[in-house]
Structure 1
Amino acid sequence: MRIGIAGAGAVGSYFGSMLEQAGHPVTFLARGSHLTAMQKHGLVIDGDGAEAHSTKTFTDNIEDLAGSELILFCVKSNDTARMAEQLLPILQEDALVLTMQNGVDNEETLEAIFGRDRVLSAATYVQAFLEAPGKVRQRGRVKLLIGELNSSAENACARVIETFQTAGIDAVHSGQILKRKWDKLLWNVTFNPLAAASGARVGQILDDPPLRKTAEAISSEAIGVAVAAGIAVEPDPTISKIFSNAEYARSHQTSMLQDRLQGKRMEVESMCGFIVRKAEEHGLEVPTLQSIYSTLSFMNQQIESG
């Protein structure tokens, strides 16, 4: 299967490399120092128990993705519409687009551009980060839950899942992928924005009483919004699961914190702005999340202004 990685950061680079090792032609679309390093020395994956080295196609020319049968859509949510609009005219009409992004609002943007039949969605569970340009470190479990947005894409989705499985990746089908993406969003909104604002890793949030209390408040507020939005969530068991799962990610430096430390725009809108707006729609107060959202939005403005 010819695969294009739209946004070869840590996550895209990791999965692209795994698929390439399994014999699939992979083209990595990247930029900046990460691209330069990969073009000079290849891509090194320091994985949990194994190391991989890719030396094939690294580019900043979107036209090089034209022949892809499958696009792993891994750009930050801030860039979803722009990247999709650039891909639309160059991709073949039956090419599939699999979003591996955070949040639950990217699917709506992608289906408006590509059509519901071509878009698949994945809840992506992986701890990966750029250790240095051209080198990705991955630790802990890796799991993908993949589902189609339209039942007409069920067979295509099964083929994509098999492709990941033959590359040694734990990938399974979900018939309720948007619900599973909400589950992941609730974990992310509990820890990701707070980590970005405080500079703390997940374990530090768990162990510091004031930070943990803030995380619990954010989690409770976000779950209330999910319930109001019609998502089948049980508050108490969900909070318990969020914090028990966090124990397995104690050393994790969240993606938003990574972006902040690297001077990049954070996924503030998709990660927490979306929930704040949903709360407003349903007449709910989310004071803790609103405070974090305001703080991070201001930080993003500072980053953008240089």
Structure 2
Amino acid sequence: MNLDHPRIAIIGSGAVGCYYGGRLAQHGHEVHFLMRSDYEHVKQHGLQIRSLHGDFSLPQVLCRRSTAEIGPCDLVIIAMKATANEALLSLLPPLLKEDTMILTLQNGLGSDDFLARHFGSERVLGGLCFVCINRISPGVIHHIAQGQISLGEHSGAPQPRTHDLAAEFQRCGIQCRVEPSLIAARWKKLVWNIPFNGLSIAAGGKDTAAILADPILEKRVRDLMREIIATAGRLGHEIPLSLIDDMIERTRTMSAYKPSSLIDFLAGSEVELDAIWGEPMRRAAAAGIAMPEVKRLHEELKARIAAR
């Protein structure tokens, strides 16, 4: 990939796609945003990013209605919900040339494998976004806390391009680290995503501060985290138990943050039930490992969603 003057496409121009794509555009990159609902607003008014690292705006944004309009790119960044992955089968081909890299910033497990299966493992990288971020109105993104991307290769160990891409993200004001194992990093993120995204819905629409203010819910968070760490370890992905206290203390600094799954649930949108809760349980079951705490939460979520 040409990192000097790359053409970049953002597929999924919600909070995550607009924030990271906006950072890249802010630092001079040619970034094309595939947009649907916000297209007219952003075309006329641009993007506004309100960030703890300093606000900025992009008055002129390359927003597009179709990937055919964007054309071949050097880097495609996928930030859409994993629930819509089948749409990528028609969205991605117009963007691809021989050496195009596909970077998925999606949650949960399975998206990397889906992309590798259909477009080639050698193209695919995964990024885990540790960020508190919301789209608060058309074209307006609120970056509340954190922001690091952990970057890894689907095909195995990091390559020179992995480090080059991480360095370019760093140059553009995006904290980025290279992970030796993408799948291990994904399990590490599930340690936060499974309990907080899940309990925010199952407990009746609670933000992270409300969850941690309830001793019973905090205990469930810790029980879920221990189960996920134990499962990951048995699958060969060692995660230290000290991560539990570290994640909980960092979550306390987020104040009253609504996880993305809660926002989807309240908006009537599809929740990433399979990628975040279902697929980890399937992989555990295939290895003969039970996850009773996660299964209980998964059942509660299915009931809440069915009753919505």
Q: State if a TM-score over 0.5 links the two structures.
A: yes
- The one of 193, 200, 203 aligned to 1:195: 200
Counterpart contact for 1:107–1:119, Cα < 8 Å:
yes
**Root-mean-square deviation over aligned CA pairs:** 2.1
- 1:296 maps to 301
CA shift, 1:84, in A, is 4.2
Q: Distance in 1 between matches of 2:56 and 2:252?
A: 28
Amino acid at match of 2:163: A
Write out per-residue CA displacement over residues 199-258 of structure 1, whole angstroms, 9 at most, x where no aligned residue: 111121111112112222222222232223222134x32333332332233332101011
In structure 1, stretches of 5+ residues that fail to align are none
Report SS of the residue matched to 2:72. Answer: coil
CA shift, 1:7, in A, is 0.4
- 1:59 maps to 64
- Equivalent pairs, count: 301
Counterpart contact for 2:207–2:256, Cα < 8 Å:
yes
- 1:218 maps to 224
Q: Distance in 2 between matches of 1:241 and 1:96?
A: 33
- 1:261 maps to 266
Counterpart contact for 1:65–1:91, Cα < 8 Å:
no
- 1:240 maps to 245
Report SS of the residue matched to 2:107. Answer: coil
Counterpart contact for 1:118–1:153, Cα < 8 Å:
no
CA shift, 1:271, in A, is 0.9
- Decide whether aligned partners of structure 1 residues 266 and 36 sit closer, same or farther in structure 2, where only a CA change above 3 A counts: farther
Q: Distance in 1 between matches of 2:39 and 2:296?
A: 36
Q: Distance in 2 between matches of 1:242 and 1:84?
A: 35
Q: Distance in 2 between matches of 1:178 and 1:250?
A: 29
Q: Distance in 1 between matches of 2:119 and 2:172?
A: 27
Matched, 1:207 2:213: yes
Identify which range, 245-254 or 63-72, moves more after superposition.
245-254
Amino acid at match of 2:194: V
- 1:227 maps to 233
- Decide whether aligned partners of structure 1 residues 245 and 68 sit closer, same or farther in structure 2, where only a CA change above 3 A counts: same
- Decide whether aligned partners of structure 1 residues 284 and 156 sit closer, same or farther in structure 2, where only a CA change above 3 A counts: closer
Matched, 1:40 2:44: yes
- The one of 96, 107, 115 aligned to 2:112: 107
- Decide whether aligned partners of structure 1 residues 82 and 184 sit closer, same or farther in structure 2, where only a CA change above 3 A counts: same
Amino acid at match of 1:80: N
- Decide whether aligned partners of structure 1 residues 62 and 299 sit closer, same or farther in structure 2, where only a CA change above 3 A counts: farther
Amino acid at match of 2:100: A
Counterpart contact for 1:5–1:12, Cα < 8 Å:
yes
Amino acid at match of 1:224: A
Report SS of the residue matched to 2:32. Answer: strand
CA shift, 1:76, in A, is 0.6
Counterpart contact for 2:156–2:181, Cα < 8 Å:
no
Amino acid at match of 1:107: D
Counterpart contact for 2:207–2:257, Cα < 8 Å:
yes
- The one of 88, 91, 95 aligned to 2:93: 88
- Decide whether aligned partners of structure 1 residues 232 and 85 sit closer, same or farther in structure 2, where only a CA change above 3 A counts: farther
Identify which range, 8-17 or 116-125, moves more after superposition.
116-125
Report SS of the residue matched to 2:270. Answer: coil
Q: TM-score, normalised by structure 1?
A: 0.90
Q: Distance in 2 between matches of 1:292 and 1:26?
A: 39
CA shift, 1:290, in A, is 1.8
- The one of 163, 168, 171 aligned to 1:166: 171
Q: Distance in 1 between matches of 2:65 and 2:301?
A: 29
Counterpart contact for 1:204–1:250, Cα < 8 Å:
no
Counterpart contact for 2:211–2:217, Cα < 8 Å:
yes
- Decide whether aligned partners of structure 1 residues 36 and 263 sit closer, same or farther in structure 2, where only a CA change above 3 A counts: farther
Give the % identical residues: 27
Q: Distance in 1 between matches of 2:132 and 2:296?
A: 27
CA shift, 1:42, in A, is 1.4
Report SS of the residue matched to 2:96. Answer: coil
Matched, 1:175 2:180: yes
- The one of 9, 15, 19 aligned to 1:4: 9
Counterpart contact for 1:196–1:254, Cα < 8 Å:
no
Q: Distance in 2 between matches of 1:219 and 1:175?
A: 22
- Decide whether aligned partners of structure 1 residues 295 and 30 sit closer, same or farther in structure 2, where only a CA change above 3 A counts: farther
- The one of 46, 71, 75 aligned to 1:70: 75
Q: TM-score, normalised by structure 2?
A: 0.90
Identify which range, 68-77 or 248-257, moves more after superposition.
248-257
Q: Distance in 1 between matches of 2:100 and 2:111?
A: 18
